[in-house]
Amino acid sequence: PDGESYIRIPISVKNEEVVLVQTTDYPQDKHLIELFLMSETIKDLGAKKLTVIVPYLAYSRQDRRFKDGEAVSVKTILHLLSEVGIDSLVVVEPHKPEEISHFRGEIKIVHPYIQLSRKIRELTTNPFILAPDRGALERARQIAEDLGASYSYIEKERDRNTGEVRIKDIP
């Protein structure tokens, strides 16, 4: 009722090692609430170990305070994931790997470079790899080297008040 998420685990998970896959992409808040509810329910029902695989970690770009008074959203999300009983967290290509340290359980980061390179090879014969910012340059380099391609990044500037992004240059 009232648009709330309803979660029920219809099988016994007692003494089982459970792997739960849940994206937290749009609508992020709904997916996160579902993840919190499923995780705590699975542990309450007696699961021995809960591993959660998150292909996209919502709020990971808010990894610091850009303006006074802002929440460090990823820190809060990872603390909550720790509190609902998740033993192990697998994240695919987080925004910044160091941000994941706020999770208090076992952490595994998965890098999809090989799969991306394979798909790029299928789609084009002469790729140029362009990272969306300097922070993604290392990822672009790894893919480009695998493909024997050139690479660069976009220099951009974000207005902290409006969120508007302006491209400064492509080095």
Q: Which domains does the chain have, with CATH numbers?
A: 17-110 (3.40.50.2020), 113-169 (3.40.50.2020)
Residue position matching structure tokens 């595994």: 108
Split at pLDDT 50, 70, 90, the class of 8 is: very high
Split at pLDDT 50, 70, 90, the class of 23 is: very high
Report pLDDT for 171.
63
Among 26-30, 87-91, 130-134, the least confident range: 130-134
Report pLDDT for 169.
67
Please report which residue ranges of the chain form alpha helices under DSSP H.
28-44, 73-83, 113-123, 137-147
Strands 165-169 and 155-158: antiparallel
Question: What 3-state DSSP class applies to 167?
Answer: strand
Give CA 29 to chain center in angstroms: 14
Report pLDDT for 161.
78
Q: Read off the pLDDT of each residue in 23-44 and give the average, rounded to a whole number.
A: 97
Q: Is the pLDDT of residue 97 over 80?
A: no
* More confident of the two residues 66 and 69: 69
Report pLDDT for 118.
94
Exactly one of 49, 108, 119, 156 is catalytic; which is it? 156
Percent of the chain with pLDDT over 90: 65
Rounded CA separation 102/123 (Å)? 38
Report pLDDT for 101.
81
Cα 156 to Cα 12, 64, 132, 167, 169: the distances in Å are: 50, 18, 8, 4, 7
The mean pLDDT value of the chain amounts to 91
Q: Kindly report, residue by residue over 36-67, the tens digit of the pLDDT.
A: 999 999 999 999 999 999 999 998 877 777 78
With beta carbons less than 8 A apart as the criterion, state whether 156 and 133 touch.
Answer: yes
Rounded CA separation 12/49 (Å)? 14
Give CA 24 to chain center in angstroms: 8
Q: Is the pLDDT of residue 11 over 70?
A: yes
Question: What 3-state DSSP class applies to 18?
Answer: strand
Rounded CA separation 30/37 (Å)? 11
Residue position matching structure tokens 């994206």: 23
User: 170 burial class (0-12, 13-18, 19+ CB within 10 angstroms)?
Assistant: exposed
Active site residue 96: no
Percent of the chain with pLDDT over 70: 98
